[in-house]
Chain A
Amino acid sequence: MVKTSVARDEKRKTSLDGTVIVSMEHVNKWFGEFHVLRDINLRVVRGERIVVCGPSGSGKSTLIRCLNRLEKHQDGDINVHGIELNNDVKNIDEIRREVGMVFQHFNLFPHLSILENCMLAPIWVRKTPRAEAEEIAMHFLTRVKIPEQASKYPGQLSGGQQQRVAIARALCMQPQLMLFDEPTSALDPEMIKEVLDTMVELADDGMTMICVTHEMGFARRVADRVIFMDEGQIVEQNEPEAFFNNPQSDRTKLFLSQILGH
């Protein structure tokens, strides 16, 4: 276990080149009167794996949804891969091309087959020819280990398979950054492992990812940084070992005791 993580780290040190993928500076967001994100400052470099955790209502989903403009931030600057995130539709479109998102409830398109779900974005957004898009789709479906399901429809797959398709669909755009919004929270326990394994493999291949999750085992294995959010603020962030073994803030200690207890 220790040996493989060292080998993985060695491989990663060469791939981490310091390019800033995400830069959030003094970001604030309100839902009406409610101040949901308070003075968020975050920098993510290429190849980094961030896990965001916290109690519900802490704003962690809102934070990552701001990164691809599914939510609009009212104050502060967000930059994704050098592109400024503002009201300019061109910027938003460009950012969305470079950012892949995996949702808690999969959000697969039920009227299209698995293969069509994955081919859609390359064909219509990147204007890839159909045959090439199909190759890319099959490649990523193989990578998430369900190539045989390509002609089925989402309704015919299990939850774990659907989520893996969702991951493949996001990967087909070959994004710079992957966002995961509680990807395993809606899954039956026996299917969580297959999705987490897929995400670990993705991380090992050098994908920059920000993952909102309650799966602390995953965080320990994969994260470079664990960020704890509460009431809209980033309360504490640290490397996983330090974070779990030596939490500094009282709120962090309380949260960890609640979720690591059972």
Chain B
Amino acid sequence: MASNRTSKRRSAANNNEVAFIRQEDAPILPPPTISSGLAGWLYENIFASMLDYSSLGAAVKSILMTVFTAFVAYVFTVQIYGLLDFAILSAVWQDPEEQKRQVCWTVEQGGALPNGWHGACWPYIIAKTKFILYGAYPNESLWRVNSTYLLGAILLAWVMIERLPYRKFVAASFLTIYPIFATVMLTGGGFGLSQFSVGVNTIAGLALISFGRVGKAGWITGPLLDFSKVAGLAGWFFIFFAAALVSVGVDFDLEKIDTRDWGGLLITLVVATTAIVVSLPLGILLALGRRSNMPVARTLSIIFIEFWRGVPLITVLFMASVMIPLFMPEGVNFDSLLRALIGVTLWQSAYMAEVIRGGLQAIDKGQYEGADAIGLSYWQSMRLIILPQALTRVLPGIVNTIISVFKDTSLVSIVGLFDLLGATQSTIADAAWSTPVQASTGYLVVALIFFVFCFGMSRYSMYLERKLNRGH
């Protein structure tokens, strides 16, 4: 019976001439012009939905899309034009007669501009530039801030440009030598040399390094051998710490500048850079700790993360500024910038830890198993296999958190520090420049500066993502 069915179907198939053998290859052609290039993109994304009149339903839809597109284009153009008009076309650029606020007044208010004028007052910004960028930092010492910025920019660019050699070494110095250089440059150094501390750290460092060397040479066995492996690295940390103590202790005859005089972009960059650079490795350790099998590491990580995530940053800063002095002995003044740095960094680490933990969870279990099966240790597999993949995977989340903390630094105004926004706000209160557009101009500048930094970070991250995805 089955064969009857099969033969019936086969003869039916033959009647329909199912058999087909290709005689020559179909030509390989380029796509039709309207679907490629800029014209193609415009057509598909904007015009296709407006030009379909094949049926009544499609026609109605096309008309609605046309109206909607026109409306959006109109609103968009008006807004962009409005911004350009305010910032550039109608703006006042110069104050040749040193009239200060009067140069941006309309006739009604006592100035020279036509009534109904509304534009940016750039002379106000030009006059306040130093304050917005440096705060109350003494003018004669600005070279110190500039040299710190310059060195930082050079080191950062060196690390980012792929073709340059010794990038790892430069990155290492950016994380170790540069912070000490920046601290001495910006504060003036000369905190006093405690020969005792320097001595203790140097001796401890040398001892640990020697212990590590002895272990490597094979003269130690048993549990001490594991310790000796870590001892070498720890020893170098102690030496570094001793060198740091010396660098900030020695008096280089620089004017000592209190952190309360710092302000503007300087504070924003110092707080943001420190928070970003420290929270990333700390976040990695916390994320690994939270996923670890060791109960102590896991519990401590969870407590840390949940505590710092449960408190808003503004509260952290407020508590840091109010509560830390309560715990300090009489007369010890814990620098307010340092308080803010510690608060923001620890808070940011908790967020970073969770972003990274998301990445670790997303890695296929087989990767962990593959690494284990070839005999890699826990730290080796983390460093070589898991973290490179996890960090790449959550790069958008990491950059998002970084951009977020860059902007959150504005909250340091709670502890009396003037960051970019705070410094600009205080210039808005300056009566010598009081005009109706003073506030708008000031905030426009703040927004522009933030945008430049944040957009820059965003674009760099996209470049990184493209570069890191080449292998997948």
> Which A residues fall within an 8 A CB radius of B?
68-70, 93, 96-97, 99-101, 103, 105-113, 120-121, 124-125, 153, 155, 169-170, 173
Give 11 A-B contacts (CB < 8 Å), ordered by A residue: A68-B372, A100-B373, A103-B373, A105-B366, A107-B370, A111-B468, A120-B374, A121-B374, A125-B380, A153-B472, A155-B472
The residues of A that contact B376 with a CB separation of less than 8 Å are 120-121, 124-125
Q: In the bound complex, what is the Cα–Cα distance between A70 and B472 (angstroms)?
A: 26
| Nearest-Cβ distance from residue B433 to partner chain A, whole angstroms | 54
Q: In the bound complex, what is the Cα–Cα distance between A69 and B364 (angstroms)?
A: 18
Shortest beta-carbon contacts, A-B, top 3: A107-B370, A121-B374, A153-B471
Contact of B389 with A111 in the complex, beta carbons under 8 Å: yes
Contact of A120 with B373 in the complex, beta carbons under 8 Å: no
Contact of B372 with A70 in the complex, beta carbons under 8 Å: yes
The residues of A that contact B374 with a CB separation of less than 8 Å are 96, 100, 120-121, 125, 169-170, 173
Q: Which of A97, A106, A109, A112 contacts B375 (CB 8 A)?
A: A97
How many interface residues does chain B have, given as a range? 20 to 34
Contact of A111 with B388 in the complex, beta carbons under 8 Å: yes
Q: In the bound complex, what is the Cα–Cα distance between A34 and B380 (angstroms)?
A: 33
The residues of B that contact A103 with a CB separation of less than 8 Å are 366, 369-370, 373
Contact of A108 with B370 in the complex, beta carbons under 8 Å: yes
Contact of B375 with A93 in the complex, beta carbons under 8 Å: yes
Q: Which of B367, B373, B388, B389 contacts A96 (CB 8 A)?
A: B373
> Which B residues fall within an 8 A CB radius of A?
364, 366-367, 369-377, 380, 384-385, 388-389, 392, 468, 470-472
Contact of A111 with B472 in the complex, beta carbons under 8 Å: yes
| Nearest-Cβ distance from residue B179 to partner chain A, whole angstroms | 30
Contact of B369 with A120 in the complex, beta carbons under 8 Å: no
Residue among B371, B384, B389, B468 having the largest count of chain A Cβ atoms under 10 Å: B384
The residues of B that contact A99 with a CB separation of less than 8 Å are 373
Contact of B366 with A107 in the complex, beta carbons under 8 Å: yes
The residues of B that contact A105 with a CB separation of less than 8 Å are 366
With CB as the reference atom, state the residue of chain B lying closest to A109: B385
Contact of B384 with A68 in the complex, beta carbons under 8 Å: no
Contact of A125 with B373 in the complex, beta carbons under 8 Å: no
Q: In the bound complex, what is the Cα–Cα distance between A109 and B373 (angstroms)?
A: 13
Q: In the bound complex, what is the Cα–Cα distance between A100 and B369 (angstroms)?
A: 12
| Nearest-Cβ distance from residue A3 to partner chain B, whole angstroms | 37
Q: Which of B367, B384, B385, B471 contacts A155 (CB 8 A)?
A: B471
Residue among A69, A106, A125 having the largest count of chain B Cβ atoms under 10 Å: A125
With CB as the reference atom, state the residue of chain B lying closest to A65: B369
The residues of A that contact B380 with a CB separation of less than 8 Å are 124-125
Q: In the bound complex, what is the Cα–Cα distance between A101 and B468 (angstroms)?
A: 28
Q: In the bound complex, what is the Cα–Cα distance between A69 and B367 (angstroms)?
A: 15
Q: In the bound complex, what is the Cα–Cα distance between A103 and B376 (angstroms)?
A: 17
With CB as the reference atom, state the residue of chain A lying closest to B373: A101
Apart from A105-B366, A111-B392, what are 11 other A-B pairs with CB-CB below 8 Å?
A70-B373, A96-B372, A107-B370, A108-B370, A109-B385, A109-B389, A110-B471, A111-B471, A121-B376, A153-B471, A170-B373
Q: In the bound complex, what is the Cα–Cα distance between A106 and B472 (angstroms)?
A: 15
Q: In the bound complex, what is the Cα–Cα distance between A237 and B257 (angstroms)?
A: 83
Contact of A120 with B389 in the complex, beta carbons under 8 Å: no
The residues of B that contact A108 with a CB separation of less than 8 Å are 370
The residues of A that contact B389 with a CB separation of less than 8 Å are 109-111
Residue among B375, B380, B389 having the largest count of chain A Cβ atoms under 10 Å: B375
With CB as the reference atom, state the residue of chain B lying closest to A123: B384
Q: In the bound complex, what is the Cα–Cα distance between A121 and B380 (angstroms)?
A: 10
The residues of B that contact A112 with a CB separation of less than 8 Å are 471
With CB as the reference atom, state the residue of chain A lying closest to B374: A121
Q: In the bound complex, what is the Cα–Cα distance between A125 and B366 (angstroms)?
A: 19
Q: In the bound complex, what is the Cα–Cα distance between A253 and B468 (angstroms)?
A: 52
Contact of B375 with A121 in the complex, beta carbons under 8 Å: yes
| Nearest-Cβ distance from residue B303 to partner chain A, whole angstroms | 27
With CB as the reference atom, state the residue of chain B lying closest to A97: B375
Q: In the bound complex, what is the Cα–Cα distance between A253 and B151 (angstroms)?
A: 77
Q: In the bound complex, what is the Cα–Cα distance between A248 and B370 (angstroms)?
A: 37
| Nearest-Cβ distance from residue A195 to partner chain B, whole angstroms | 17
The residues of B that contact A96 with a CB separation of less than 8 Å are 372-375
Contact of B367 with A109 in the complex, beta carbons under 8 Å: yes
Q: In the bound complex, what is the Cα–Cα distance between A173 and B364 (angstroms)?
A: 23
Q: Which of A93, A100, A111 contacts B377 (CB 8 A)?
A: A93
With CB as the reference atom, state the residue of chain B lying closest to A112: B471
Q: In the bound complex, what is the Cα–Cα distance between A120 and B364 (angstroms)?
A: 19
| Nearest-Cβ distance from residue A172 to partner chain B, whole angstroms | 8
| Nearest-Cβ distance from residue A198 to partner chain B, whole angstroms | 18
The residues of A that contact B472 with a CB separation of less than 8 Å are 110-111, 153, 155
Residue among A107, A112, A121, A124 having the largest count of chain B Cβ atoms under 10 Å: A107
Q: Which of A68, A111, A113 contacts B373 (CB 8 A)?
A: A68
The residues of B that contact A111 with a CB separation of less than 8 Å are 388-389, 392, 468, 471-472
With CB as the reference atom, state the residue of chain A lying closest to B468: A111
Contact of A124 with B367 in the complex, beta carbons under 8 Å: no
The residues of A that contact B470 with a CB separation of less than 8 Å are 153
Q: In the bound complex, what is the Cα–Cα distance between A125 and B369 (angstroms)?
A: 16
| Nearest-Cβ distance from residue A101 to partner chain B, whole angstroms | 4
| Nearest-Cβ distance from residue B290 to partner chain A, whole angstroms | 21
Q: In the bound complex, what is the Cα–Cα distance between A96 and B373 (angstroms)?
A: 6
Q: In the bound complex, what is the Cα–Cα distance between A50 and B441 (angstroms)?
A: 79
| Nearest-Cβ distance from residue B213 to partner chain A, whole angstroms | 17
The residues of B that contact A113 with a CB separation of less than 8 Å are 471
The residues of A that contact B367 with a CB separation of less than 8 Å are 107, 109
| Nearest-Cβ distance from residue A163 to partner chain B, whole angstroms | 13
Residue among B372, B373, B472 having the largest count of chain A Cβ atoms under 10 Å: B373
The residues of A that contact B369 with a CB separation of less than 8 Å are 70, 103, 107
Q: In the bound complex, what is the Cα–Cα distance between A108 and B364 (angstroms)?
A: 11
With CB as the reference atom, state the residue of chain A lying closest to B470: A153
Residue among B372, B374, B468, B470 having the largest count of chain A Cβ atoms under 10 Å: B374
Q: In the bound complex, what is the Cα–Cα distance between A155 and B471 (angstroms)?
A: 7
